[in-house]
């Protein structure tokens, strides 16, 4: 019984080490989708990712010699990526200490597809899972072309946004705003004027629970979908896009005129929903 308990605890320790946060410096950023124009400037969404070598290093350091990877080439399906190029897919079967996890990866060639599958399977063991919690990161770029370059390091932009968000939360805590009961939270959401940039600094609070909301204006595929949605999965608070002559609708209600409407949605918005975002 003692031996079994120790073995169980050893494996629990291994799983926790595999899913431990990544060390600084291994997270990179790449552009996801085409740039869009906003306030006469071009911005593009950047997503965080890691190299396959980072996954291998984590496996070799935690379970050296105790992991195995099998790749299976999947039949090619009719279809192309957003750049009009043909893609291929692999299924990765990752085994660690007898536990197996599988996932599928896609790429323009065998190497990129196999690497994608490997990293996706590793996420199922918790490796680099924190990348999925990263928020949208919109960065100014030098043009609207496919190879436009960011005007600022995406990591710096993201860190600054997170610092501002944390500072705002501390300020609200110091004011004691979190002490108000939920049923006393104001339903009327205050929306700032025209947005000054892509960092969602004008993000309103949830009209139901008062919490933070996801800004879907630049990434939603359906223009009739909500502009904002509460980050709390147990809350259904949303803000719908404004109709001509009306303010944005808060959970189905509208009021006021168009002069108080929120920031405009830029033309040529990305055709990728937040649920489709893959940090790899």
Question: Which CATH code for domain 63-123?
Answer: 3.30.390.80
Residues 6+ apart with CB under 8 A from 25: none
pLDDT tens by residue, 168-223: 888 877 777 554 444 433 333 333 333 333 334 456 778 887 778 777 777 666 77
Q: 49 and 30 in contact (C-beta within 8 Å)? A: yes
Q: Which two tokens stand for residue 41?
A: 């400037």
Q: Rounded to 5, what percent of the chain is helix, strand, coil?
A: 30, 20, 50
| Contact between residue 216 and residue 223 where contact means Cβ atoms under 8 Å apart | no
Answer yes or no: is pLDDT of 5 > 50: no
Q: Report helix, strand or coil for 236.
A: coil
pTM of the predicted structure, to 2 decimals: 0.57
Query: Looking at residue 77, what is its pLDDT?
Result: 73
Residue 260 tokens, joined: 């108080």
Q: What pLDDT, on a 0 to 100 scale, did the predictor assign at position 258?
A: 34
**Domain spans in the chain, listed from the N-terminal domain onward:** 63-123, 182-270
For 223-276, write each residue's pLDDT tens digit. 778 888 888 877 888 888 876 655 555 665 544 433 333 333 333 344 343 334
238 bridge partner residues: 229
Burial 177-206, CB ≥16 within 10 A → b, else e: eeeeeeeeeeeebebeeebebbbbebbbbb
pLDDT tens profile 147-175: 889 999 999 999 998 888 888 888 877 77
What pLDDT digit, counting tens, does each position of 79-113 carry?
Answer: 655 666 788 999 999 999 999 999 999 998 999 99
Determine the average pLDDT of the residues in 53-58.
96
Integer Cα distance of 92 and 97 in angstroms: 16
């Amino acid at each position: 019984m003692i031996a079994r308990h120790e073995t169980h605890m050893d494996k629990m320790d291994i799983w926790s080490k595999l899913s431990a946060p990544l060390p600084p410096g291994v997270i990179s950023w790449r552009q996801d989708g085409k740039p869009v124009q906003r306030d006469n400037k071009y911005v593009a969404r950047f997503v965080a990712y890691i190299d396959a070598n980072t996954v291998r290093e984590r496996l070799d350091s935690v379970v050296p010699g105790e992991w195995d990877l099998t790749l299976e080439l999947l039949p090619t399906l009719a279809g192309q990526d957003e750049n009009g190029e043909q893609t291929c897919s692999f299924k990765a079967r990752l085994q660690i200490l007898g536990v197996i996890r599988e996932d599928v990866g896609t790429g323009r060639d065998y190497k990129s597809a196999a690497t994608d599958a490997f990293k996706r399977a590793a996420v199922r063991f918790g490796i680099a899972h924190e990348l999925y919690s990263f928020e949208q990161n919109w960065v100014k770029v030098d043009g609207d072309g496919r190879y436009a370059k960011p005007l600022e390091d995406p990591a710096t932009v993201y860190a600054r946004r997170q610092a501002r968000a944390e500072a705002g939360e501390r300020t609200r805590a110091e004011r004691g705003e979190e002490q108000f009961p939920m049923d006393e939270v104001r339903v009327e959401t205050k929306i700032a004027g025209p947005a000054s940039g892509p960092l969602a600094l004008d993000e309103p609070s949830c009209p139901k629970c008062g919490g933070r909301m996801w800004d879907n204006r630049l990434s939603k595929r359906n223009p009739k979908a909500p502009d904002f949605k509460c980050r709390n999965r147990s809350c259904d608070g949303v803000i719908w896009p404004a109709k001509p002559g009306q303010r944005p609708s808060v959970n189905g209600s509208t009021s006021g005129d168009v002069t108080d409407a929120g920031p405009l949605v830029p033309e040529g918005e990305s055709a990728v929903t937040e649920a489709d975002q893959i940090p790899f």
